[in-house]
Amino acid sequence: MIQFSLIISVYAKENPENFAQCLDSILKQTALPDELIIVKDGQLTDELEKVVQNLQFPNELIIISLTENVTQGPARAEGLKTARYEWIAIMDSDDICRPDRFEKQLRKIAENPKLDLIGGQIAEFVDTPENPAAIRSVPLDHSGIVKFAKKRNPFNQMTVMFKRAAAIEAGNYRYFPWFEDYDLWTRMIKNGAICANHPDILVDARVGGGMYGRRRGRSYIKSEWRMQKQLKKLGIINSAEFIRNTAIRIPVRLLPSKTLEKMYNKLAR
């Protein structure tokens, strides 16, 4: 079986119960990570620290403590620098892996050794994963992924596994609020990474808690604009596609959260 590291970053505003559920879903995997790296992105609350201290992971467990909150991109970059294995898995600290997530992805990797980057589908939920609010589907093959990347992130980031060397060669994660994953994937694609998405739902992803409110406003627009410029610079989109994307995507970030949520639920899936 292919060996891999799993990186999870957590920060002070996370819910301890959600974090504990996330870690429990990892312990129940049919294919356990050979190495679990938890990046504490700044000082955690006592409750979150207790979750970390109570974790009994049977394989290698590495805790990285950052002195201040640096946001998810730089936090994951630190985890990636520390990881020892060729393949890296990513997980958000409040989501829940399906029990066979890693087994299914490792099987796909074994079937296609040329793969550099693989994700999967997700079921979004608000209260419990037993009552999903929506399914977020992404393209399965490389050409579909590249085409999809012109408009939106072609991966559900909390499902992704990738080759460490391919990510490092593309420049690793970096500070890019809200778009750190999309940014890295497109740089990897530009570098020639071969991509795929598993057809099955691999992760139950928690939504709500002000998620749509965070996807609006001037700060988000600034990052959205930067991401579109990045896509154009990489040659993933041309000038006409840049104009189209910014004309469509940026104005909606000024809409009220409830309106944005309705649009997202209707159009993004």
Domain limit, last residue, from 207, 223, 247:
207
CATH number of 113's domain: 3.90.550.10
pLDDT in tens, the chain (269 residues): 799 999 999 999 999 999 999 999 999 999 999 999 999 999 999 999 999 999 999 999 999 999 999 999 999 999 999 999 999 999 999 999 999 999 999 999 999 999 999 999 999 999 888 989 899 999 999 999 999 999 999 999 999 999 999 999 999 999 999 999 999 999 999 999 999 999 999 999 998 755 554 555 678 889 999 999 999 999 999 999 999 999 988 777 665 555 555 555 555 44
- Give yes or no for a contact between 189 and 162, defined as CB atoms under 8 angstroms apart: no
Q: Whole-angstrom Cα distance, residue 46 to residue 16?
A: 9
33 and 117 part of one domain: yes
Containing domain of residue 227, as a range?
A: 209-269
- Give yes or no for a contact between 126 and 203, defined as CB atoms under 8 angstroms apart: no
180 and 251 part of one domain: no
Q: Whole-angstrom Cα distance, residue 61 to residue 185?
A: 26
89 and 219 part of one domain: no
44 and 77 part of one domain: yes
174 and 269 part of one domain: no
Residue type, 133: A
Q: Whole-angstrom Cα distance, residue 206 to residue 125?
A: 5
**Burial class of residue 14 (count of CB atoms within 10 Å of its CB; 0-12, 13-18, 19+):** buried
The answer to whether the predicted template modeling score (pTM) of the entire model surpasses 0.85 is yes
63 and 120 part of one domain: yes
